[in-house]
């Protein structure tokens, strides 16, 4: 499917009218849409609305123009890599073509075309640039339609979970009323059935709440809130929310120095909340011993680790547990919805990191995840 006229247009920025006219004539003979720009500003504006390629002669660009254009090109979306054909002078280096060498480096997807230019060479280079650009636009359309399909699915999951709550609430209320007001009419088995109904409704409510939390992660991202989080504070908040379970289990938790990272603090809190809750929940015979730490990940940022001495996970399940609703135990043994790790994975992957576990059954687990860094927070706990 062809894109807009702008997306099929080649923009030309050449200072001498003769050069530009020659290029326009050569391209229009080949049925290629071409437009000339009289200034770099006009070129930048044109590129903003979409372009097939740009043809620029090196003497048209001052070094400031090169920097401005480079900045403009750097802000392109991920699918976009605008082809630029840079017309250079053949022969001895001059101040102009020295600057074109630098321009070629900073402008990215640049093809150098030496003058005098043969029309055939120009047409072949422009056609190849346009073909590459059309593939980029195709990629953008695919990505947009995929994103649309994902949003619709998420919207569906959200509405479905939301609509399920009301009948569920009724089940819980009426089973409670039945037990309360008709207790005498119920024998022991009847009362037991009522309890099962109530417990199942409660469990379904938890599942739906967790599913809603998972689908809401997308809404969170549209808010554009500050994206730095102090990991030490997030851990502290997570520990506070788990204080009852920590006290009951006799867990000892050690927290090393933690950095400030590029991530929303609600998200980092959610990760620690899930990992620490699991470290306490999936404990063995001994009271939980948990350690939270961070170390630098070369060329990326930080690698966090949450280490426990719990029941551990067999190697064959170590990837599967990050999937939605994937659990290794019955609800009677360990309660849960199988969504916590899926939420962690989604958050981490969206910020460009990864999450994984290293574990041996019976010998504890260490969950790792990576995050881009900001700066080291002073001190630490533990
Ligand atoms: P939930 O805890 O609600 O079941 P999660 O998505 O948090 O869901 O975890 C998925 C599964 O991974 C759990 O059911 C459990 O079997 C396993 N798991 C998670 N964390 C640990 C841990 N620290 N030690 C052992 N098993 C774990």
For helices 340-350 and 265-281, what crossing angle results, to 10°? 150
What residue owns the CA closest to ligand 1's atom 20? 278
Query: What residue spans in the chain does CATH classification 3.40.50.2300 cover?
Result: 6-143
Annotate 234-293 with DSSP letters as a single string.
HHHHHHHHTHHHHHHHT-EEEE---EEEES-HHHHHHHHHHHHHHHHHT--SSPPEEEEE
pLDDT (0 to 100) of residue 92: 62
**Rounded alpha-carbon distances, angstroms, from residue 248 to 142, 206, 252:** 51, 22, 11
Query: What residue spans in the chain does CATH classification 3.30.565.10 cover?
Result: 222-382
**Rounded alpha-carbon distances, angstroms, from residue 24 to 55, 82, 126, 182, 267:** 10, 19, 12, 89, 53
What residue owns the CA closest to ligand 1's atom 14? 327
pLDDT (0 to 100) of residue 145: 93
pLDDT (0 to 100) of residue 381: 39
**Residue from 209, 318, 336, 362 whose mutation best tests the ligand 1 pocket (most atoms within 8 A of CB):** 336
Rounded distance from Cα 186 to ligand 1 centre (Å): 38
Below-70 pLDDT ranges, the chain: 1-2, 90-103, 218-226, 373-382
**Residue from 213, 309, 338, 363 whose mutation best tests the ligand 1 pocket (most atoms within 8 A of CB):** 338
Q: Note the pTM of the prediction, 2 decimals.
A: 0.67
pLDDT (0 to 100) of residue 346: 92
Question: Backbone phi, then psi, for 123, in 5-degree steps?
Answer: -60, -45
44 alpha-carbon distance from chain centroid: 29
In sequence order, which residues have a C-beta less than 8 Å from that of residue 222 and are 6 or more positions away?
Answer: none
| CATH of range 222-382; options 3.30.70.20, 3.30.565.10, 2.130.10.10, 3.40.640.10 | 3.30.565.10
Rounded distance from Cα 338 to ligand 1 centre (Å): 7
Sign of CA dihedral 366, 371, 373, 375: negative
Q: What CATH number should be reported for the domain whose range is 6-143?
A: 3.40.50.2300
Give the angle 175-178-182 at the CA atoms, nearest 5°.
160
What residue owns the CA closest to ligand 1's atom 19? 278
**Residue from 282, 283, 292, 369 whose mutation best tests the ligand 1 pocket (most atoms within 8 A of CB):** 282
CA-336 nearest atom, ligand 1: 3
Which residues are near ligand 1 (CB < 6 Å)? 274, 278-279, 282, 308, 310-313, 321, 326-329, 336-342, 365
Tens digit of each residue's pLDDT (9 = 90 or more) over 107-126: 889 898 888 888 999 999 99
Tens digit of each residue's pLDDT (9 = 90 or more) over 338-358: 999 999 999 999 888 999 999
pLDDT (0 to 100) of residue 213: 84
pLDDT (0 to 100) of residue 380: 42
């Amino acid at each position: 499917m062809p894109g807009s006229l702008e997306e099929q247009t080649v923009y030309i920025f050449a200072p001498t009218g003769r050069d530009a006219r020659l290029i326009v004539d050569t391209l229009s003979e080949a049925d290629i849409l071409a437009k000339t720009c009289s200034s770099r500003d006009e070129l930048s504006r044109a590129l903003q609305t979409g372009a097939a390629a740009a043809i620029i002669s090196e003497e048209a660009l001052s070094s400031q123009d090169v920097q401005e254009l480079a900045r403009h090109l750097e802000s392109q979306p991920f699918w976009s890599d605008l082809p630029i054909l840079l017309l250079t002078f053949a022969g001895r280096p001059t101040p102009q073509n020295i600057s074109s060498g630098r321009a070629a480096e900073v402008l990215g997807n640049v093809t150098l075309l030496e003058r005098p230019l043969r029309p055939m060479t120009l047409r072949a280079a422009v056609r190849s640039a346009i073909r590459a650009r059309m593939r980029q636009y195709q990629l953008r359309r695919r990505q947009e339609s995929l994103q649309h399909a994902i949003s619709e699915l998420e919207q569906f999951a959200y509405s479905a979970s939301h609509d399920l709550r009301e009948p569920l609430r009724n089940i819980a209320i009426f089973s409670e009323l039945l037990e309360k007001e008709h207790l005498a009419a119920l024998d022991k088995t009847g009362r037991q059935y009522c309890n099962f109904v109530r417990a199942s409704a409660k469990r379904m409510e938890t599942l739906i709440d967790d599913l809603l939390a998972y689908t809401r992660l997308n809404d969170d991202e549209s808010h554009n809130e500050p994206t730095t989080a102090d990991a030490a504070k997030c851990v502290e908040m997570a520990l506070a929310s788990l204080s009852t379970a920590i006290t009951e289990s006799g867990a000892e938790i050690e927290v090393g120095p933690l950095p400030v990272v590029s991530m929303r603090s609600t998200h980092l809190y959610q990760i620690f909340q899930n990992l620490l809750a699991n470290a306490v929940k999936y404990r063995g015979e001994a009271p939980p011993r948990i350690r939270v730490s961070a170390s630098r990940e070369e060329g990326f940022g930080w690698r966090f680790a949450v280490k426990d001495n719990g029941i551990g996970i067999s190697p064959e399940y170590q990837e599967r547990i990050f999937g939605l609703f994937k659990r290794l135990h019955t609800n009677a043994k360990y309660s849960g919805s199988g969504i916590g790790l899926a939420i962690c994975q989604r958050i981490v992957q969206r910020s460009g990191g990864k999450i994984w576990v290293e574990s041996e059954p019976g010998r504890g687990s260490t969950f790792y995840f990576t995050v881009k860094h900001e700066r080291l927070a002073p001190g630490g706990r533990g």
